[in-house]
Amino acid sequence: MSLSVGDAAPDFTLPASGGRTVSLEGLKGSPFVLYFYPKADTPGCTKEACAFQEALPQLGKLGVTVIGVSKDRMKPIETFAEKYGLTFPLASDEDTSVAQAYGAWVEKSMYGRKYMGLERSTFLVNAEGKIAAIWPKVKIDGHAAEVGKAVSAL
């Protein structure tokens, strides 16, 4: 399933770091950023998470919640969050159902071998629960700032 700007955000409820639960229902009425990352505590994912952490004060002023999603179990996610002081929720989508609903679970290829994996992608959802912006195949450098600009335009 591929989402487009203006589509309703697919429903989700996931366990998240700090003993939290994140859900579409719980975020109703507030805009949020949902970003998918391949694996906790890997160099690219760490850089991306730290960039979002740095952008939190600016995004928070705009009333936006940031949620990171990977298929990691909660234990490595909690360790990752603690190690880097990540205060926003990092959610566990072990069965990849949420990633699939958002179109972030894709066929990848490395050294000629094909496999399924999480594509680094970000979704901005507005207060009405509609997709306001999509960033597929995210390049980490400058991404959090780009998301911040789109949030400002909401």
Active-site residue list: 45
CA distance 66 to 45: 15
Q: Within a 10 A sphere around the Cβ of 57, how many other Cβ atoms?
A: 8
Pairing of strands 13-16, 20-23: antiparallel
Q: How far, CA to CA in Å, does 66 sit from each of 10, 97, 99, 123, 132?
A: 16, 19, 16, 10, 14
CA distance 19 to 78: 9
Q: Any residues with CB less than 8 A from the CB of 16 and at least 6 apart, and which?
A: 22, 67, 77, 89, 90, 91, 92
- The DSSP output letter for 65 is E
